[in-house]
Chains A and B, each alone.
Chain A
Amino acid sequence: MNTQFKKGVLELCVLVLLDRKDCYGYEMVDEISKNISISEGTIYPLLKRLKKEGFLDSYLKESQGGPPRKYYQLTTLGKVKKEELVKEWRSFSVGVNNLLYSEITNDSGAIKDE
């Protein structure tokens, strides 16, 4: 996939996943990899940055038969950021889809001056 497309989208994916439920790193990588091909290592620096910027928190939780896992969760600030990014993404993707799939409706083809 075009790497330019992934610009900024990984951040959105992480925030959306964590809004649904708290996750540990591997889980997030797994979930994202099902949909988009990513290098698994890139998510951890991102998680660290988001945590430092106050969008995420982490806590340790016991796992069955293994060492405790580090779970990430959204903070209130993170929820606001997520809403913001989702809104941006929506209008961006709608705009791109319009260009790709809609008929050209403006017969004259001229851009109207306001």
Chain B
Amino acid sequence: MNKDEYLKELRKLLRKLPKEDREDIISDYEEHFTIGMEKGRTEEEISKALGNPKNVAKQIKADHMVKKAEDKPSVGSIIEAILAIMGLGLFNLIFVAVPVLVVVAIIITLFVIGFVMIFGGIYWVLLPLLSFIFPKLLLAPSIGPNTSVLMDSLFTMLGGFAVTIGGILLVVAMVFVSKWFYELMIRYLKLNLRIIEGRKKDI
């Protein structure tokens, strides 16, 4: 591979990166070629010593994705980062990715339960009021034939309040849990990057 082919290939592999980052790294390799040729090496020698552009690109992309997941936290960016690191050949991440997905599913489920509790609770609070205003449209669930409608409504409303507060507490707790889990993931991914930099066969 000569210089132009090497740089063209690298540029193509890095096309998903921001233009500024891509041109920055391309200029580094261009400089490497220029200086190497000044020292009397051929383009082919240099591109061989640089290693396969695919490996170079994978490394750069994985670094970039992890940094992005750190700066702009989102489920999408962490998945991108995991995929990029898996592309480097770290198979242990397959065993990580599945538990991660399970934990993410549990977190989402708990969020949904929290919101259902909040809105369900509000509905229970409002139900007796609504049934008071529109007695024919909505009927408050009656506990027994002997309890008065007023007591019935009061119980329903109190229950509704309790459920709403429970839901809010659950959602707040889940916000903290997901933040903590996200930071843990980023730290793990960074650790993996450091290991792969040393493990790659052609380092």
Give chain B residues whose Cβ lies under 8 Å from the Cβ of A31: none
A21 contacts partner chain B, Cβ-Cβ < 8 Å: no
A109 contacts partner chain B, Cβ-Cβ < 8 Å: no
Give chain A residues whose Cβ lies under 8 Å from the Cβ of B50: 39-41
Which stretch of A43-51, A76-84, A86-94, A97-105 is in the interface? A43-51
B38 and A66 within 8 A (CB): yes
What is the bound-complex CA distance between A27 and B21, given in angstroms?
Answer: 22
Give chain B residues whose Cβ lies under 8 Å from the Cβ of A11: 194, 197
Distance in angstroms from B186 CB to nearest chain A CB is 13
Residues of A9-49 whose CB lies within 8 A of B: 9-11, 24-26, 29, 38-42, 44-49
Give chain B residues whose Cβ lies under 8 Å from the Cβ of A8: 194, 197-198
B168 contacts partner chain A, Cβ-Cβ < 8 Å: no
Main secondary structure of the interface of A (DSSP, over half): helix
- Given the known inter-chain contacts A3-B199, A4-B199, please indicate yes or no for A44 contacting B51, CB distance below 8 A: no
B203 and A48 within 8 A (CB): no
What is the bound-complex CA distance between A46 and B200, given in angstroms?
Answer: 13
Contact of A40 among B32, B194, B197 (CB under 8 A): B32
B11 contacts partner chain A, Cβ-Cβ < 8 Å: no
A46 and B25 within 8 A (CB): no
- Given the known inter-chain contacts A3-B203, A26-B36, A40-B51, please indicate yes or no for A45 contacting B27, CB distance below 8 A: no
Contact of B51 among A7, A42, A46, A66 (CB under 8 A): A42
A69 and B31 within 8 A (CB): yes
B35 and A39 within 8 A (CB): no
Residues of B1-28 whose CB lies within 8 A of A: 21, 24-25, 27-28
What is the bound-complex CA distance between A69 and B197, given in angstroms?
Answer: 25
B102 contacts partner chain A, Cβ-Cβ < 8 Å: no
Q: List 8 A-B contacts (CB under 8 A).
A: A4-B199, A29-B32, A39-B203, A45-B59, A48-B25, A48-B28, A48-B60, A69-B31
- Could you list which residues of chain B lie within 8 angstroms of chain A, going by C-beta atoms? 21, 24-25, 27-29, 31-32, 34-36, 38, 46, 49-51, 53, 55-56, 59-60, 63, 67, 193-195, 197-203
- Could you list which residues of chain A lie within 8 angstroms of chain B, going by C-beta atoms? 3-4, 6-11, 24-26, 29, 38-42, 44-49, 52, 66-67, 69-70
